[in-house]
Amino acid sequence: MTAASAHDHADTAAGPPAAGRGIFDHDLLSACISCGFCLPACPTYAQTKAEADSPRGRITLMRALEDGRLDPDDDTLQAQAGRCLGCRRCETVCPAGVKYGELLEQWRDHQWRGRHTPPIAGALRAGVRVTPALAAAGMARGAARATGAADPSRPHLMLGCLERTLYPKVSKAVLRFVPEADVPAGQGCCGALHAHNGSSREAAEMAARLGDVMPGTIVSTSGGCAAYLAHQLGHERVKEISEFLMARWEADPALIPTLRRLTVDGRPARVGLKDSCQLRNGLGVFAQPRALIAKVADYVELPSAGECCGGAGTYSMLQPTMSKAVLDPTLVQARAAELDYLVALNVVCTRQLEAGVKRAGLRLRVLHLVELLELALPD
């Protein structure tokens, strides 16, 4: 079978794959019934209307890889392993419960080996580590300071490898709302970026190590890190900051700090949100950030709020054209909605939104949720 026929005939691929190469979990790969319900939900399919750019088309390609009809040298296979955003929106509409995100990890583990590894993914796998230099840079830039060994009786604030240097104020802001949190020293990476870039075994080891350094409850300000760590260590242990704050404030309203309503030019501030895909589609967390924004400003739901921003880990570097195209509707909607702030829940989303806002010449600020809430604290 050629790559073209693999995706042209996706609708005939309902049966389980034949005895395979062992690249994929057989049950996961067999689950798709090729119904196509996922196609309208997929951001890349929305751009091109090509079957190969859809979840169903990609699963057909995976099956062809698994049963030997295609090998990793196939151009469409190689292209589609990178074209998928990994946003998992397809999972939320799938009647068969296909775990697409896990299939994608297994695909990239196999596909992105040796000369097939995209250079950016390879560099990331080799280079993203919390080295002493990175930790020092984070502290120098003003991120929350490590407090020593973890105290199991306290929630632990996870600093994140990119956020501590790119957006150091985020961790500081968290401590204003969760002052009892400690910041354990010796935090490594959670492994999420590695899992999504063809190195899931190494990623699982990184997550386990981080769990050992932070026994008990872990609080993350990054939706992607939280979702991956929760998958590895258990959602009961790992909480993204919006779900942590909402649960805390609902359980004990006395802990809700005094928050003023934000204004811009004397009127209520208008604030939009861009969900973190992994947080929304992987962990099912989306009501909490909206509720928190509404406590301090006029929340404006953009039509594309729940759709991928196109950042998607390394995606904006691997697929810059598609990455921008996926984000563009949000920029148009943000302009029409006359937003003052656009809130993100993940460091890569923040970066992507900032770049888009600059490109579009919008007059709004991109902030992490806790930075927005911090603006509402009394001086």
- Give the Å distances, CA to CA, from 36 to 17, 51, 54, 96, 311: 18, 10, 9, 11, 25
Residues 325-354, interacting with ligand SF4 (CB under 6 A): none
8 Å CB contact between 294 and 319: no
User: Which neighbouring-strand residues pair with 344?
Assistant: 368
Q: Which is nearer to ligand SF4, 65 or 143 (by Cβ)?
A: 65
Per CB under 6 A, 85 contacts ligand SF4: yes
Q: Which is nearer to ligand SF4, 38 or 364 (by Cβ)?
A: 38
Per CB under 6 A, 34 contacts ligand SF4: yes
Residues 42-71, interacting with ligand SF4 (CB under 6 A): 42-44, 55-56, 58-59
253-262, Cβ contacts within 8 angstroms, sequence gap of 24 or more:
257/176, 257/177, 257/377, 258/377, 258/378, 259/295, 259/296, 259/373, 259/376, 259/377, 260/296, 260/376, 260/377, 260/378, 261/296, 261/297, 261/376, 262/296, 262/297, 262/372, 262/375, 262/376
Per CB under 6 A, 156 contacts ligand SF4: no
Q: Which is nearer to ligand SF4, 48 or 147 (by Cβ)?
A: 48
Per CB under 6 A, 86 contacts ligand SF4: yes
Please, what is the minimum distance in Å from the beta carbon of residue 85 to ligand SF4? 4
Per CB under 6 A, 192 contacts ligand SF4: no
Which range binds ligand SF4 by CB under 6 A, 30-38, 169-177, 186-194, 248-256?
30-38
The token duo for 24 is 């994929």
Size of site (CB under 6 A) for ligand SF4: 26
The token duo for 268 is 């209520």
Question: How many other CB atoms are found less than 10 A from the CB of residue 42?
Answer: 24
Per CB under 6 A, 6 contacts ligand SF4: no
Per CB under 6 A, 88 contacts ligand SF4: yes
Per CB under 6 A, 100 contacts ligand SF4: yes
User: Which neighbouring-strand residues pair with 341?
Assistant: 271, 365
Which range binds ligand SF4 by CB under 6 A, 28-36, 125-133, 288-296, 363-371?
28-36
Q: For residue 351, which amino acid is it?
A: R
Q: For residue 160, which amino acid is it?
A: G
Please, what is the minimum distance in Å from the beta carbon of residue 52 to ligand SF4? 11
Per CB under 6 A, 87 contacts ligand SF4: yes
Please, what is the minimum distance in Å from the beta carbon of residue 31 to ligand SF4? 7
Q: Is 9 exposed, middle or buried (0-12, 13-18, 19+ CB in 10 A)?
A: middle
Residues 6, 76, 77, 89: which binds ligand SF4 (CB under 6 A)?
89
Q: Which is nearer to ligand SF4, 89 or 365 (by Cβ)?
A: 89
Please, what is the minimum distance in Å from the beta carbon of residue 68 to ligand SF4? 21
Per CB under 6 A, 32 contacts ligand SF4: yes
What is the distance between the alpha carbons of residues 308 and 328, in angstroms, rounded to a whole number? 11
Helical residues (DSSP H) of 9-99, grouped into ranges: 26-30, 43-48, 55-66, 75-83, 89-93
Please, what is the minimum distance in Å from the beta carbon of residue 315 to ligand SF4? 9
Residues 202-221, interacting with ligand SF4 (CB under 6 A): none
The token duo for 330 is 């949000």
Residues 6, 13, 29, 38: which binds ligand SF4 (CB under 6 A)?
38
Distance from chain centroid for Cα 6? 29
8 Å CB contact between 102 and 25: yes
Query: Which residues form the interface with ligand SF4 (CB under 6 A)?
Result: 32-38, 41-44, 55-56, 58-59, 84-90, 94, 96, 98, 100
